[in-house]
Amino acid sequence: MGDLISSTIGNAEKHDVSKFEEYELESVIDGDTIRIKYNGSSEKVRFLLVDTPETNHETLGEQPYGPEAKEFTKQLLAGQDTVYLEFDVSYRDKYKRLLAYIYTKEGISVQEQLLKNGLARVAYL
């Protein structure tokens, strides 16, 4: 996975994150969900437009490639104290999670890289 991450970081399109909001990254929950510090409290953020296989679902359990997607997101965000969030029209989902596009401080879109590397599918359009 280390080679995949280094080639991803080296080849990824870089976005201008100056117009996005910066938040403290607390943890990676799975391939498409992280936890951040938001307005003083700990909040889950679900990545917009992508779906990765589950790692610990109540009914589905662990799905194939779920651990790989989680590890990819973890390594892509390794060493990042903060992440940049771009919110869309829908601010929260039915589970009260924040919904956003996630970027590293270098401007790498986590969603784009999950899709490009075959670890997520486009969903929830």
* 93: its two tokens: 């989902």
Please pick, among 43, 71, 97, 106, the residue that the annotation labels catalytic: 97
d(CA 28, CA 17): 20
**54 annotated active-site:** yes
* 94: its two tokens: 């039915």
Interval 82-108 mean pLDDT: 93
User: Does the global pTM surpass 0.85?
Assistant: yes
58-94 pLDDT, tens per residue? 888 888 889 999 999 999 999 999 999 999 877 899 9
Query: What is the per-residue pLDDT for 7?
Result: 84
Distance of CA 90 to the CA centre of its chain: 17
For domain 2-122, the CATH architecture is Beta Barrel (2.40)
Query: What is the per-residue pLDDT for 59?
Result: 87
**46 annotated active-site:** yes
Please pick, among 21, 46, 68, 71, the residue that the annotation labels catalytic: 46
Query: Per-domain residue ranges for the chain?
Result: 2-122
